[in-house]
Structure 1
Amino acid sequence: MSLKQKLQEDLKSSMKNKDNTKKSVVTLIRASIKQFEVDNRVELDDSQVIDIIAKLLKQTKDSLNEFKKAGREDLATQAEAEIEVLKEYLPQQLSEEELNEIVIATISEVGATSMKDMKQIMSSIMPKVKGRADGKLINELVRKNLQ
């Protein structure tokens, strides 16, 4: 079953079960997919759908941080619930240790020695961890390992 079909099935079941959080998140994901497909006149495959979900996850995490700064615990709680639903549709995330091993291996593959090689390292790592790690964390680990 493709990811888009799974989203359709989950939307139906969340409506039957009156799970409003899941329903709203799945609806948001499906709307984002549809918008991208219409704008670019393409049919997305699972890896491209994962990219969209990862982007939505990042946006929701950013919103969560803003809600916490503003002292809006009600919205922060809602954002945390949305994050959990979004994570259900992403591949298993890599641990920081696994990610650090990939970063170290890539640095040696590329032959990087300084921060000037950052772009080359990042462009080499990102396809390896697509959808399984946050770019900000990867960036921090690369910086830490280059110093």
Structure 2
Amino acid sequence: MASEIKASVSQAVKDAMRAKDKERLGVLRVVMAEFKKIEVDERIELDDARVLAVLDKQIKQRKDSAQQFQDAGRPELAAVETFEIDVISSFLPSPLSDDDILSILKQAIAATGAESMRDMGKVMALVKPQIQGRADVGKVSAQVKSLLG
């Protein structure tokens, strides 16, 4: 099943070309190249879940870079990374509220019968596809630890 998100990124590339928006176009081309690389390497067509995982990874890399640039006293480079984060984030679905996340976690804990930290992997395996691209996986992982701990 082809990804609607990937199709919208592809359309955004065309729109940026027409608008001669070089900065936005550059970011979108990097994202499309990452999609293509995965499709060629693994001989698959990306679905929405995989596309969201790629977008999440791209955003995380840029957040790390922006923080390093900020720490190094290079705010102009950090601003570039922040711009790229904004462009990529525009393709993510709307974020989940804290209540929604808590509800998903409680359902997953009940469904897996998790009782302790040993069961965290089972819970995260069930939760991750539901929150991908809609919540920070690291923060959700911390919430799971507190619920199971």
- Specify the code of the residue in structure 2 equivalent to 1:146: L
C-alpha RMSD of the superposition: 1.9
**Residue ranges of structure 2 left out of the alignment (5+ in a row):** none
Moved more, 4-13 or 119-128: 4-13
Q: Which residue of 2 aligns with 1:7?
A: 9
Instruction: Tell me which stretches of 4 or more aligned residues in structure 1 moved more than 4 Å.
Output: none
Report the alpha carbon displacement of residue 99 of structure 1 after superposing the two structures with TM. Answer: 1.1
Is the alpha carbon distance of 1:2 and 1:120 closer, same or farther for their aligned partners in structure 2, counting shifts above 3 Å?
closer
Q: Does 1:135 align with 2:137?
A: yes
Segments of 5+ residues of structure 1 without an aligned counterpart are none
Distance 1:119 1:99 in 2: 17
Q: Give secondary structure in 2 for the equivalent of 1:126.
A: helix
CA deviation profile, 1:90-146 (whole Å, cap 9, x unmatched): 111212332122212322332222212211111121122233222101111111222
Shift in alpha-carbon separation, 1:4–1:119, aligned structure 2, 3 A: closer
**Does structure 1 retain, via aligned residues, the 8 Å contact 2:131–2:137?**
no
Instruction: Select the residue among 34, 37, 57 that pairs with 2:36.
Output: 34
Tell me the TM-score normalised to structure 1 length.
0.87
Identity percentage of aligned residues? 35
Q: How many residues align?
A: 147
After TM superposition, list the pairs within 5 Å mapping 1:1-147 onto structure 2. Answer: 2-147=4-149
Shifted more, 89-98 versus 27-36: the winner is 89-98
Q: Deviation per CA, 1:71-102, whole angstroms, max 9, x where unpaired? A: 22111111111111111111112123321222
Distance in 2, matches of 1:113 and 1:44, equals 35
Compute the TM-score of the two structures, normalised by the length of structure 2. Answer: 0.86
